[in-house]
Amino acid sequence: MSADSHVAAMAPIFPGSVDAAGQRATLGVLGGGQLGRMFVQAAQRLGYFTAVLEPDAQSPAGQVSHHHIQTGYDDPAGLAQLAYLCQAITTEFENVPAQVLQTLALTRPVAPGAAVVGIAQNRIEEKAHFAACAATSGVGCAPYAVLETPAQLQAVQAERPELLPGILKTARLGYDGKGQVRAENAAELAAAWAELGGVACVLEKKLPLAAECSVLVARGWDGQVVSFAPQRNVHVAGILAVTHAYAGALPPALAERAREAAIAIARQLGYVGVLCVEFFVVDDGSEHGSLVVNEMAPRPHNSGHYTLDACDASQFDLQVHALAGLPLPQPRQHSPAIMLNLLGDVWLDAAGRLREPDWSAVLRLPGTHLHLYGKLQARPGRKMGHLTITGPDIASVKAGARRAAELLGLPGLDG
């Protein structure tokens, strides 16, 4: 069942209202991580009650929600309780089983819908969708081939040499650089597929990248679409390190093409909720390069966290509005911003011992906004929080971000 299945019957769920069964207006989320936490906080600011279904007793979202249903994502009793408590339900990450969303959608509005999440869960389906959208979005994906069988491996080695050097990516459960292996030639491709366990994969041609960017789009049940300006992203070891969100972070014409492509992709999906579409900027010899769509996330995204502090409506505000059927205001960015991702490495010294970062020095800097996610244990590569620097002009924001990065030992600022 698609997200649009409830469009005809979807009346707005107003904060503070009580439904026919006597239930207070409650919005639910599958998943208890930081994205769920920030969704819950945005919903509560408007006056909604919230419910989180998440097996971890100490989850960031569960800590702050009115209700925490501590069960697995496919537990029938837990899902029944979530449906009983909530008037509408969303998800904070794309690896919730799509069948679960389909089951919940039989009795409650669910956004994004199971079909859309299913596409995002499988790179093979995602690439096929991007290729099909290229005529209307104006942006295609990198040249690629599907690898599911030894015969397909042999065919790629023999018939698609132009795809090498390439990057082999698992079709499912790959994120933050995981499930990816580079292959320079046919022999390395065979070894890479074996290393990944011979599971279904996508081989993408390695392109000369000039930059990476993303666009956040929100679409309502009625088809209304709003979006944020595209932001430039810097990744280190496959994990987002820095987001640059200010005028000139991307060439204006390139940014507008990315925005138009993301909106086209959302419309073709019949999407409801907040969608992030990530793009590569390819160095093709032209003045500003060309765009290639990389992947999408059917949820708010790490690269949009700056909107909490630099915009009059954040990506989480729009997620709440879209899910509840409220009007979608066109967000306005009132301050230039740079977002620094805070991984668990920040809490570890050179010998791997835990230490407290120098928050006093960091928070003394003008325009700093610290967001920690309530995670109790710091580990290398684990997303513990983020720091957004805003200011009256781009120069002051860059100076503040550079100093904060120095104090925290963060890489990638000038990437």
295 marked as part of a ligand binding site:
yes
DSSP letters, 157-209, are HHH-GGG-SEEEEESSS--TTTTEEEESSHHHHHHHHHHTTT--EEEEE---E
* pTM for the whole structure: 0.94
Q: Give the per-residue pLDDT at 175.
A: 65
* 212 is known to lie in a ligand binding site: yes
Establish whether 178 is an annotated binding residue: yes
> Tens digits of per-residue pLDDT, 293-350?
999 999 999 999 999 999 999 999 999 999 999 999 999 999 999 999 999 999 999 8
Q: Tokens for 72?
A: 């697995």
Q: Kindly compute the dihedral angle of the four CA atoms of residues 131, 185, 291, 137, in this order, to the nearest 10 degrees.
A: 0
Establish whether 330 is an annotated binding residue. no
**Whether residue 113 is found in the same domain as residue 171:** no
- Both 246 and 302 in one domain: the answer is yes
The separation between CA 342 and the C-alpha centre of its own chain, rounded to angstroms, equals 16
204 annotated as ligand-binding:
yes
Query: For residue 3, is pLDDT > 90?
Result: no
205 is in an annotated binding site: yes
CA distance 210 to 284: 9
Residues 147 and 66 in one domain: no
Average pLDDT over residues 95-116: 95
Q: Are residues 53 and 175 in the same domain?
A: no
Structure tokens, 285: 């010899």
Please check whether residue 103 lies inside any domain of the structure: yes
Identify the pLDDT of residue 174.
67
Q: Which among 88, 121, 154 is the end of a domain?
A: 121
123 known ligand binder:
yes
What pLDDT score does 5 carry? Answer: 42
207 carries a ligand binding annotation = yes
Q: What's the CATH code of the domain at 34? A: 3.40.50.20
Was 375 annotated as part of a binding site? Answer: no
> What is the residue-averaged pLDDT of the chain?
94
In a domain, 132, yes or no: no
Structure tokens at 383: 């997303």
294 labeled part of a ligand binding site: yes
335 and 262, same domain (yes or no): yes
**E strand or H helix at 239:** strand 239-245
Average pLDDT over residues 28-40: 98
- Torsions phi, psi for 154 (to 5 deg): -65, -40
Side-chain half-sphere of 17: how many Cα atoms within 13 Å? 12
Domain span at 158: 143-205
- Please report which confidence band the pLDDT of residue 414 belongs to, taking 50, 70 and 90 as the band edges: low
Q: How confident is the model at residue 415 (pLDDT cuts 50, 70, 90)?
A: low
